[in-house]
Structure 1
Amino acid sequence: MNNDNDPIAMEAQSEPSKNAQSLQTLASGPLSSSLSSLASSSRTLPSNQDFHFFNNFDDFRLPIDRIAKTSDSLLQFIGSSSKTWDPNNAIHFPNNIDSITDDEAYRWLVDMNDDILEQFDVSVDEFQEKEEKTGRLFGSDPDNNGFKLVQGKKKKKGDSGLMSDSVCESLSTKEGGSSNSYSGAKVKKGALTMVTTGKAKVPFHVPTIRKPQEEYNILVNNSNQPFEHVWLQRSEDGLRFVHPLEKLSVMDFVDKDIANLEPIRPPSIESTPFKLVEEVKDLKELAAKLRNVDEFAVDLEHNQYRSFQGLTCLMQISTRTEDFIVDTLKLRIHIGPYLREVFKDPMKKKVMHGSDKDILWLQRDFGIYLCNLFDTGQASRVLKLERNSLEHLLQHYCGVTANKEYQNADWRVRPLPDEMLRYAREDTHYLLYIYDLMRIKLLSMPKEPIHFDAPLVEVYKRSSDVCMQLYEKELLMENSYLHIYGLQGAGFNAEQLAIVAALCEWRDIIARAEDESTGYVLPNKVLLEIGIWRTCSS
């Protein structure tokens, strides 16, 4: 076949071979061994209280400070490097490193890794398409194997691309609704905007929203006392709460007679009946439907910034035939009475992904305790998949590219724009199908020597362990201030530590009384700066 005049072939031939060489260097060079050495070394670092103790000594603190600064610089470089990203799509590492939470930093790292791997997948796909169209194996050419890194993501049919304008318009056109809508407090178009990363984004905090606690009279107990699980019985000695799962066996939940299981592919989102549950009558109807199915998928959207303990903002539920989104702010006091028993029912399978926190939020806000859970995140670990994120499972099993723009959005926004509703639906719409495929794979997977149980049983055991967690309220203790991020590197003397401890106690009292997060009342970075300034001014 003659490719001399084929523009596709010419483009592939024109790519500099250094791209492929760079990939080869990355895969087989010193990076892998360096990462392994780094992981081994990190395990020798002291943790928690030991770390704070050793950090009082210059021989320990100074090298740690240098490593921390180098790490911050490296992360900043990786997130903004033109060698990794198109300048308009950079995933900048947060500038407020001293005040971000571990979860926020972890989500940044997950997003970055996912995007890099996605770039790689897209590059391989496009390279293979060129080979198929030209009939030439460019990779076999030792002088130029045609590998090209593609900036950005492959567009799927139906992708909405950058959606900040549409989100703003959706919110602004609905602002003039009923006067009792707390999101009607003029959400400015500038509040939902393109940030420095170049990606459309609903901010994690829209300050003009009226607090749901005030709008719906949501009452919470923020006292500095342990959380009371009023819907659970206590042990005979009265010292602990007894989870319903303690009276059940994991083997009761393991699927039986599924050797000939046929996965049920879900219909498209566009053709699937959908109900936004905002009224008690609709919640009652949902509960009745759930009582008539054998399994359903569940996910939650949560807000941590504008409440002391956090607020569950949405509950997504999908059956084999319908999708539901429950406004858990508006219906908060009704969720438990209508859904508690169906979630507890050991005869009904609940499918969730990465449910570690969702389980605790259900207990805290609604007194709901799960029985019979299949966590696809745990299943992905047992199956040793390349990645364990829901985004990866959607792509791997369903060919769906998840939209991550709303992952950290302010889910208190009302009314919810259509784009955010679709994002929320996608979290559960495909989950039962993924559950089918995973069970088939687990059933055919040989048992590993390190596990006593078959892979499918192992997944159910891990899922049950997640369910057995019990929510605990954060309590202020005498040494709570020692765990403030950034304190260990500040080198404070005794007077400064006393000021920090007093500020920490004051912040905790205000946050509990006003039902705000401690980070909203007084960020850690500001708290530490006050400690430094106060002693200097004295």
Structure 2
Amino acid sequence: MDDFTAVHSATTSALVATTRTAGQLATSDLPFHRSLDAGLSSALDEQNARLLSLAERLLGAATGSSAETGVRSHTPRLSGIESVEGNWRAVVDVVDSLLERADTALDEFTGAVRRLSPGASEQQKVGAGGTGLVRPGRIAAALKNREIEKPQLRFEHVPSNDETGIFQPLLESKPHASRPLKEVGAGEQPYQKEIEEYQFPDSVYIQAEPIPYHPFDSTTATFVDTEEAMYEMLEELKQASEIAVDLEHHDQRSYIGIVSLMQISTRDKDWIVDTLKPWRRKLQCLNEVFANPSILKVLHGAYMDVMWLQRDLGLYLVGLFDTHYACRALGYTGGSLAFLLKKFADVDAQKQYQTADWRIRPLPQELFDYARSDTHYLLYIFDNMRNELIQRSDLCLPNHEGDKLWDVLQKSTETALQRYEHPIYDGELGQGPMGWYKLLARTPALLSKEQFSVFRAAHRWRDNVAREQDDSVHFVLPNHHIFSLAKQMPDTKEGVLNTVHPATQTVRFRIDELLGVVVNAKADGKDGEEMMDVLNRVEPQPSRKAPREVVSHSVAAFLPKVSSPVANGALSALPLRSATSTFWGAVVPGVGRQDRRTASTAASGISLTVPLPELTAEIFADRPAYTSTPVKPSSPEPMPTETPVDEGQNDVFILKELGKKRKRAVVDAESRVAMDGMAANNDEVAIMPDMESERAQEKVERRKAKKEAKRAKAAEVAGGLNYDEPAADEEPFDYASAPSILNPPRESREEARERRKKNIDPYAKKSVDVPKPLGRVQKERSGRSMTYKS
């Protein structure tokens, strides 16, 4: 380390001195000095040629390693000043690649591993807490930096990540068993029968005063990191009737994930269990508590916790109460644990620690307190939610219809029955939790054959590398980088680095391997499968726009057969017409739609046709006024199956009166008979009783009176003039003798002179009594104001 520090200091000093010298030269007016001294000009040219030669040799050395791998690489040529400007982008790419490799090498040599690994002086134990002392300045780095030695490498059972069969439970014994462990079948959860037959204790159905929690500041938790401390905790947990459990999980530097901490709380005490110890599988002795039907286990959002406990520790929960389902049953606005802490305990959870690296040892005090708070208040929260569930439940309804508490217990039991399974990769159809199908199906991208081949190849490469390194797939290569590689399909290392910038540590180490995968997949994709063909084999994709040569199943089912090849092959589809119809039944070839409808309805004795009379001029005439005298309607005759139209009949059939609105009218019986049963289908409604006729007449009278009142009021406003009726002393206007408007008579000079003398307005007589219109609205103009005028 001392040698590295000396080399680093010397290199930095040399680079600083070189940079300063170059900066000083750049500020000098070299062209001016060239013009003064020819010898200086020649010396500068020689130095330029020497520096360009050195730079070209360095670029060749930086890119020469690609010749060993057989991957094509481009070395920029620097023959002159002009070539530097032309190849500047290539030079920058090489320098960026060198910096990436140097950064990776420095991280490996003296990276965060040594800085975050606790020294001997730091591993001091705190009495009751049991955590190590961590300097506050390291907290921020601990939350972000992932360069920690993998604890799973020290486990007694190192994960292999290549299991493909049925998950075998880790249990060596089965406490509180109603069925022995040896009778449990393959692929079955060991405690399935016990969970299904479990009856919750009577205390769950009794409303009681919530038991308050102990003050957080005046108490502490016990850090369990030895086997002796584990057995001591077990003996105390056996005495409890309810416990609260929570887990802290890490999934960044592990392929399947790893449980890093387990928090357990009773009414009086808290424990923080270190689950990263090599003997971690011995924690399955806690099944004496976790599987005990007389002890209630309270968790929040336990769906994944149930499977993590099975996978890593061999623990199973019999008697689970999930407060997340209680939130949903009670209709809370929030469903997170932070919401419940704030609602019932008035505690603001520090959720910035939720994504912390829980593998850090010794555990910082901030993380220790955060983990402890997840279970310290949870039993008190359970008491309040249980009481509220009982209060808002209707226990009188049969089949637990109004029992909210029963719904929560049933859903919690279903969660406890979950069974862990190995993640199996399906490279062909992309199924499973680690497959590519869901990632591609919910993305609107439509890839070509080559792009789709690169996408699947890069996705499979990522999964293989993640299993080999025991890292998460997102740590190896994020999802958006896979799409970028598929769309760009780079063929050089520099292109790959630019496409997936910023590149992950794995990509920088295995850049040649990833480049080979992309190049080979692009070549294989030319004769590969279409993306839509593969997706439709799993599930049809109706919402995605397919290429023209790809025909979706919904369209192909109605295309006629063709003999000429289209796109990649001839279309083989069903005929255009089907032999049967869901609505009309059997279809007779050569029969039109109207004929098929008549034939089908005639067979059932139902007539769907309505006879219409001939259209005559009487139809467009005004409707005669109907009398309100009631007439007893005659009994209508049954509608025939098919009535021919009589060419000689002249009955009037009014569809709609022209120029009038639809109104409810009084229709007598004779008109109904003449219309041949069409009154039932007419838009107008017939009103037969006298009472309805009188009401209609009164309504007309009220409208008429209201209209007369409006006219009188308008005449009063207009100055007492009624424009609807002419005045008694006013003669009607003679339109025949009126002068033409287009060619008005010319006024003589004498008449014009006389009119100007008298200043007579020819239109004043006509407009003197007319109300004056409103004035023009004033608008603001730029630079002027209508309020203040000069």
TM-score bracket, shorter-length normalisation: 0.5 to 0.7
Residue 530 of structure 1, CA deviation: 2.3
In structure 2, distance between residues paired with 1:294 and 1:466: 21
Residue 432 of structure 1, CA deviation: 0.7
In structure 1, distance between residues paired with 2:184 and 2:247: 35
Residue 452 of structure 1, CA deviation: 2.7
- Is 1:461 the equivalent of 2:410? yes
- Is 1:327 the equivalent of 2:277? no
Residues 1:423 and 1:524: Cα distance change in structure 2 (over 3 Å): same
Greater RCO (Cα-Cα under 8 Å, separation 6 or more): 1
Residue 489 of structure 2 aligns to a residue in which SS? helix
Residue 479 of structure 1 aligns to a residue in which SS? coil
Q: Which amino acid aligns with 1:300?
A: L
| 1:188-227 superposed matches below 5 A | 192=140, 203=143, 205-216=144-155, 219-227=158-166
Residue 319 of structure 1, CA deviation: 0.7
The answer (yes or no) to whether the contact 1:296–1:432 under 8 Å persists in 2 is: yes
- Is 1:312 the equivalent of 2:259? yes
- Is 1:351 the equivalent of 2:305? no
Which deviations, in whole Å up to 9, do the C-alpha atoms of 1:243-297 show, x marking residues without a partner?
A: 5243455661153485452211011112224201111110111111111211110
Q: Which amino acid aligns with 1:367?
A: G
Q: Which amino acid aligns with 1:370?
A: L
The answer (yes or no) to whether the contact 1:172–1:187 under 8 Å persists in 2 is: no
The answer (yes or no) to whether the contact 2:300–2:322 under 8 Å persists in 1 is: yes
In structure 2, distance between residues paired with 1:247 and 1:412: 34
Structure 1 vs Structure 2: percent identity of aligned residues?
Answer: 35
In structure 1, distance between residues paired with 2:346 and 2:334: 15
CA RMSD for the aligned pairs?
Answer: 3.5
Q: Which amino acid aligns with 1:485?
A: L
The answer (yes or no) to whether the contact 2:170–2:313 under 8 Å persists in 1 is: no
Match of 1:228 in 2: 167
The answer (yes or no) to whether the contact 1:372–1:464 under 8 Å persists in 2 is: yes
Match of 1:360 in 2: 307
- Is 1:479 the equivalent of 2:429? yes
In structure 2, distance between residues paired with 1:226 and 1:413: 33
Residue 390 of structure 1, CA deviation: 0.9
Which deviations, in whole Å up to 9, do the C-alpha atoms of 1:209-236 show, x marking residues without a partner?
A: 1111224455114115145132578998
After TM superposition, the score normalised by the length of structure 2 is 0.42
Worse-matched range after superposition: 279-288 or 323-332: 323-332
Residue 357 of structure 1, CA deviation: 0.8
In structure 1, distance between residues paired with 2:204 and 2:436: 54
In structure 2, distance between residues paired with 1:290 and 1:397: 25
Residue 489 of structure 1, CA deviation: 3.2
Counterpart of 1:393 (choices 334, 340, 355) is 340
| 1:173-192 superposed matches below 5 A | 175-177=119-121, 192=140
In structure 2, distance between residues paired with 1:236 and 1:252: 22
Residue 312 of structure 1 aligns to a residue in which SS? strand
The answer (yes or no) to whether the contact 1:486–1:525 under 8 Å persists in 2 is: no
The answer (yes or no) to whether the contact 2:222–2:271 under 8 Å persists in 1 is: yes
Residues 1:254 and 1:387: Cα distance change in structure 2 (over 3 Å): farther
The answer (yes or no) to whether the contact 2:167–2:187 under 8 Å persists in 1 is: no
Match of 2:209 in 1: 262
Residue 419 of structure 1 aligns to a residue in which SS? helix
In structure 2, distance between residues paired with 1:383 and 1:503: 46
Residues 1:332 and 1:385: Cα distance change in structure 2 (over 3 Å): farther
The answer (yes or no) to whether the contact 1:172–1:188 under 8 Å persists in 2 is: no
Residues 1:246 and 1:427: Cα distance change in structure 2 (over 3 Å): same
In structure 1, distance between residues paired with 2:278 and 2:217: 26
Greater Rg by CA: 2
The answer (yes or no) to whether the contact 2:169–2:190 under 8 Å persists in 1 is: no
| 1:8-407 superposed matches below 5 A | 175-177=119-121, 192=140, 203=143, 205-216=144-155, 219-231=158-170, 238=185, 240-249=187-196, 252-256=199-203, 259=206, 261-330=208-277, 333-407=280-354
Residue 412 of structure 1, CA deviation: 1.1
Residues 1:498 and 1:473: Cα distance change in structure 2 (over 3 Å): same
Q: Which amino acid aligns with 1:468?
A: L
Residue 442 of structure 1 aligns to a residue in which SS? helix
In structure 1, distance between residues paired with 2:136 and 2:236: 39
Which deviations, in whole Å up to 9, do the C-alpha atoms of 1:29-83 show, x marking residues without a partner?
A: xxxxxxxxxxxxxxxxxxxxxxxxxxxxxxxxxxxxxxxxxxxxxxxxxxxxxxx
The answer (yes or no) to whether the contact 2:195–2:416 under 8 Å persists in 1 is: no
Match of 1:109 in 2: none
In structure 1, distance between residues paired with 2:296 and 2:482: 46
In structure 2, distance between residues paired with 1:258 and 1:239: 36
Residue 300 of structure 1 aligns to a residue in which SS? strand
The answer (yes or no) to whether the contact 1:229–1:241 under 8 Å persists in 2 is: no
In structure 1, distance between residues paired with 2:233 and 2:461: 44
Residue 188 of structure 1, CA deviation: 11
Residues 1:173 and 1:247: Cα distance change in structure 2 (over 3 Å): closer
Worse-matched range after superposition: 482-491 or 301-310: 482-491
Q: Which amino acid aligns with 2:480?
A: K
Residues 1:238 and 1:297: Cα distance change in structure 2 (over 3 Å): closer
Which deviations, in whole Å up to 9, do the C-alpha atoms of 1:139-172 show, x marking residues without a partner?
A: xxxxxxxxxxxxxxxxxxxxxxxxxxxxx9xx97
In structure 2, distance between residues paired with 1:436 and 1:215: 41
Residues 1:284 and 1:220: Cα distance change in structure 2 (over 3 Å): same
Which deviations, in whole Å up to 9, do the C-alpha atoms of 1:405-448 show, x marking residues without a partner?
A: 20111111111111110000000000011111111111222339
Q: Which amino acid aligns with 1:532?
A: K
Counterpart of 2:460 (choices 480, 505, 510) is 505
The answer (yes or no) to whether the contact 1:314–1:326 under 8 Å persists in 2 is: yes
In structure 2, distance between residues paired with 1:519 and 1:430: 34
The answer (yes or no) to whether the contact 1:377–1:389 under 8 Å persists in 2 is: yes
In structure 1, distance between residues paired with 2:491 and 2:234: 61
In structure 2, distance between residues paired with 1:328 and 1:212: 10
The answer (yes or no) to whether the contact 1:294–1:347 under 8 Å persists in 2 is: yes
Match of 1:111 in 2: none
Which runs of 4 or more aligned residues in structure 1 lie more than 4 Å from their structure 2 counterparts after TM superposition? 171-179, 186-191, 215-218, 231-239, 248-251, 448-451, 535-538
Residue 353 of structure 2 aligns to a residue in which SS? coil
- Is 1:525 the equivalent of 2:474? no
In structure 2, distance between residues paired with 1:172 and 1:243: 40
Residue 439 of structure 2 aligns to a residue in which SS? coil
Q: Which amino acid aligns with 2:345?
A: C
The answer (yes or no) to whether the contact 1:359–1:467 under 8 Å persists in 2 is: yes
After TM superposition, the score normalised by the length of structure 1 is 0.60
In structure 1, distance between residues paired with 2:152 and 2:206: 49
Residues 1:403 and 1:332: Cα distance change in structure 2 (over 3 Å): farther
Q: Which amino acid aligns with 1:479?
A: L
In structure 1, distance between residues paired with 2:206 and 2:181: 40
In structure 1, distance between residues paired with 2:283 and 2:184: 28
In structure 2, distance between residues paired with 1:268 and 1:311: 31
Residue 299 of structure 1 aligns to a residue in which SS? strand
In structure 2, distance between residues paired with 1:306 and 1:318: 29
Residues 1:533 and 1:286: Cα distance change in structure 2 (over 3 Å): same
Show structure 1 runs of 5+ residues with no match.
1-167, 194-201
Residue 315 of structure 1 aligns to a residue in which SS? strand
Residue 422 of structure 2 aligns to a residue in which SS? coil
Residue 512 of structure 1, CA deviation: 1.2
In structure 1, distance between residues paired with 2:234 and 2:167: 26
Residue 237 of structure 1, CA deviation: 11
Q: Which amino acid aligns with 1:471?
A: Y
Match of 2:449 in 1: 494
Match of 2:512 in 1: none
Counterpart of 2:362 (choices 392, 415, 422) is 415
Worse-matched range after superposition: 309-318 or 377-386: 377-386
Residue 529 of structure 1, CA deviation: 2.1
Which deviations, in whole Å up to 9, do the C-alpha atoms of 1:333-353 show, x marking residues without a partner?
A: 344332123211111111111
